[in-house]
Protein backbone atom coordinates (compact mmCIF):
# COMPACT_ATOMS: atom_id res chain seq x y z
CA UNK A 1 0.00 0.00 0.00
CA UNK A 2 1.43 3.40 -0.92
CA UNK A 3 2.52 5.64 1.95
CA UNK A 4 1.13 9.18 2.13
CA UNK A 5 3.00 11.55 4.48
CA UNK A 6 0.91 14.64 5.24
CA UNK A 7 2.38 17.96 6.38
CA UNK A 8 -0.46 18.80 8.77
CA UNK A 9 0.43 22.46 9.31
CA UNK A 10 0.83 23.12 5.59
CA UNK A 11 -2.41 21.40 4.59
CA UNK A 12 -4.36 23.15 7.36
CA UNK A 13 -2.84 26.47 6.32
CA UNK A 14 -3.92 26.06 2.72
CA UNK A 15 -7.52 27.01 3.59
CA UNK A 16 -8.38 30.10 5.63
CA UNK A 17 -11.09 28.43 7.71
CA UNK A 18 -10.06 29.71 11.14
CA UNK A 19 -7.66 26.85 11.88
CA UNK A 20 -5.30 29.28 13.63
CA UNK A 21 -7.78 29.79 16.50
CA UNK A 22 -7.59 26.10 17.45
CA UNK A 23 -4.63 24.35 15.87
CA UNK A 24 -5.12 21.09 17.78
CA UNK A 25 -8.81 21.03 16.87
CA UNK A 26 -8.04 21.69 13.20
CA UNK A 27 -5.39 18.94 13.20
CA UNK A 28 -7.88 16.55 14.79
CA UNK A 29 -10.48 17.35 12.12
CA UNK A 30 -7.90 16.79 9.36
CA UNK A 31 -6.81 13.52 10.96
CA UNK A 32 -10.41 12.33 11.11
CA UNK A 33 -11.01 13.21 7.47
CA UNK A 34 -7.82 11.37 6.50
CA UNK A 35 -9.13 8.25 8.24
CA UNK A 36 -11.68 7.92 5.44
CA UNK A 37 -9.04 8.01 2.70
CA UNK A 38 -8.72 4.51 1.32
CA UNK A 39 -5.84 3.03 -0.61
CA UNK A 40 -3.03 4.63 1.39
CA UNK A 41 -1.06 4.12 4.55
CA UNK A 42 -1.49 7.65 5.95
CA UNK A 43 1.09 9.29 8.21
CA UNK A 44 0.13 12.72 9.56
CA UNK A 45 3.03 14.79 10.91
CA UNK A 46 1.92 17.27 13.59
CA UNK A 47 3.87 19.97 15.41
CA UNK A 48 3.48 22.83 17.86
CA UNK A 49 0.07 23.15 19.53
CA UNK A 50 -1.16 20.12 17.56
CA UNK A 51 1.65 17.95 18.92
CA UNK A 52 -0.66 16.00 21.23
CA UNK A 53 -3.13 14.84 18.57
CA UNK A 54 -3.16 11.06 18.64
CA UNK A 55 -3.68 8.40 16.00
CA UNK A 56 -6.94 6.82 14.89
CA UNK A 57 -7.64 3.74 12.80
CA UNK A 58 -6.22 4.41 9.36
CA UNK A 59 -3.98 7.32 10.36
CA UNK A 60 -0.62 7.10 12.07
CA UNK A 61 0.29 10.38 13.76
CA UNK A 62 3.93 11.39 14.19
CA UNK A 63 4.54 14.24 16.62
CA UNK A 64 7.50 16.40 15.67
CA UNK A 65 9.69 17.01 18.72
CA UNK A 66 11.09 20.13 17.06
CA UNK A 67 10.88 21.17 13.42
CA UNK A 68 7.95 19.65 11.60
CA UNK A 69 9.87 19.89 8.33
CA UNK A 70 12.81 17.91 9.73
CA UNK A 71 10.45 15.22 11.00
CA UNK A 72 8.67 15.01 7.63
CA UNK A 73 12.00 14.50 5.87
CA UNK A 74 12.92 11.78 8.39
CA UNK A 75 9.59 10.01 7.88
CA UNK A 76 9.96 10.28 4.09
CA UNK A 77 13.47 8.82 4.29
CA UNK A 78 12.10 5.87 6.30
CA UNK A 79 9.53 5.19 3.53
CA UNK A 80 11.34 5.34 0.16
CA UNK A 81 8.96 6.09 -2.68
CA UNK A 82 6.33 7.61 -0.40
CA UNK A 83 4.30 10.65 -1.39
CA UNK A 84 4.59 13.79 0.74
CA UNK A 85 1.73 16.28 0.70
CA UNK A 86 3.01 19.84 1.16
CA UNK A 87 3.27 23.13 -0.70
CA UNK A 88 6.46 24.20 1.10
CA UNK A 89 9.11 24.55 -1.64
CA UNK A 90 12.15 23.91 0.54
CA UNK A 91 10.49 20.91 2.18
CA UNK A 92 9.54 19.56 -1.25
CA UNK A 93 13.19 19.80 -2.35
CA UNK A 94 14.42 18.03 0.77
CA UNK A 95 11.87 15.24 0.44
CA UNK A 96 12.67 14.64 -3.23
CA UNK A 97 16.33 14.27 -2.20
CA UNK A 98 15.37 11.31 0.03
CA UNK A 99 13.29 9.67 -2.70
CA UNK A 100 9.77 10.96 -2.06
CA UNK A 101 7.18 12.03 -4.60
CA UNK A 102 5.38 15.32 -3.93
CA UNK A 103 1.76 16.41 -4.21
CA UNK A 104 0.18 19.66 -3.07
CA UNK A 105 -2.54 20.21 -0.48
CA UNK A 106 -5.09 20.87 -3.22
CA UNK A 107 -4.73 17.30 -4.48
CA UNK A 108 -5.41 15.92 -1.02
CA UNK A 109 -8.24 18.29 -0.12
CA UNK A 110 -9.97 17.54 -3.41
CA UNK A 111 -10.02 13.83 -2.50
CA UNK A 112 -11.20 14.52 1.05
CA UNK A 113 -14.02 16.76 -0.20
CA UNK A 114 -15.50 14.02 -2.42
Contact 78, 38 (CB under 8 A): no
User: Would you say residue 17 has pLDDT above 90?
Assistant: no
**CA–CA gap between residue 37 and residue 80 (Å, rounded):** 21
User: Would you say residue 104 has pLDDT above 90?
Assistant: yes
Indicate the pTM of the whole model: 0.95
Contact 34, 56 (CB under 8 A): no
pLDDT of residue 70: 96
Nearest to 88 by CA among 2, 8, 21: 8
Domains and CATH numbers, the chain: 3-112 (3.40.50.1010)
Amino acid sequence: MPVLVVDCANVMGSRPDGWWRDRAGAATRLRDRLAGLSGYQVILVVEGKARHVGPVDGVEVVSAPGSGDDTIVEVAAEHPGCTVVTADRELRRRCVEVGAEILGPGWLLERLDQ
